[in-house]
Structure 1
Amino acid sequence: MSLIHATPHAEAPVPTLAPRERETLRHIAAGCTYLQTARHMGLSRHTVDAYLRRIRTKLNINSTAELTRLAISLGL
């Protein structure tokens, strides 16, 4: 899909994401809820929420759809 690669988020500084942030992003993009993601990762729901807030801030992303597009473009 060329639209994914044309978005500014596909060119975002992804290396700035911590490994746990990338893992969180992968779970959310796969359709997991915050609680399911927390259980898979052995974290609290609040920690998952904090990771996602940091990702959104770092990459200037406002919606779960944008997060999902980013994850797909990264192959997560």
Structure 2
Amino acid sequence: MSFTPTPHAQAPTPVRPTLAPREQETLRHIAAGCTYVQTARHMGLSRHTVDAYLRRIRAKLDINSMAELTRLAVSLGL
């Protein structure tokens, strides 16, 4: 009786959409505790553009709260 191990099928890793560099930068500022206005000043943008970036991030990654955004930033090393 011989035992031949069978390879286990690996679970597919979920595909996570990539964030654009400006989205990453925005997320980094927000996770660091900056307000939308402070983030906009640091990045040379309007507050509305910062809001648009964050809406895009939430839509891409199906995130609904600032706590989830911050957790994401930490997990990404931002």
Spell out, residue by residue over 1:29-72, the C-alpha distance to the aligned partner (whole angstroms, 9 max, x if none). 00000000000000000000000000000000000000000000
User: Does residue 77 of structure 2 align to residue 75 of structure 1?
Assistant: yes
User: Considering only CA atoms, is the larger Rg found in Structure 1 or Structure 2?
Assistant: 2
Uncovered stretches (5+) of structure 1, i.e. residues with no partner = 1-10
TM-score (norm 2): 0.79
Unmatched 5+ stretches in structure 2: 1-13
* Count of residue pairs the alignment pairs up: 65
Structure 2 residue 13 is matched with structure 1 residue 13: no
* Aligned residues with identical type, % of pairs: 85
- SS of 2:63's equivalent in the other structure is coil
* Paired letter, 2:59: T
User: Is the helix fraction higher in 1 or 2?
Assistant: 1
Counterpart-to-counterpart distance in 1, 2:57 and 2:15: 11
**Residue 17 of structure 1 contacts residue 55 of structure 1 at CA under 8 Å; is this kept in 2?**
yes
Aligned structure 1 segments of 4 or more residues deviating by more than 2 angstroms: none
Report the alpha carbon displacement of residue 13 of structure 1 after superposing the two structures with TM: 1.3
Q: Does 1:61 align with 2:63?
A: yes
Q: Distance in 1 between matches of 2:59 and 2:21?
A: 16
Structure 1 residue 12: Cα displacement: 6.0
- Residue 21 of structure 1: CA displacement? 0.1
Q: Which residue number corresponds to residue 42 of structure 2?
A: 40
CA RMSD of aligned residues (A): 1.2
Preserved contact between residue 35 and residue 45 of structure 1 (Cα < 8 Å): yes
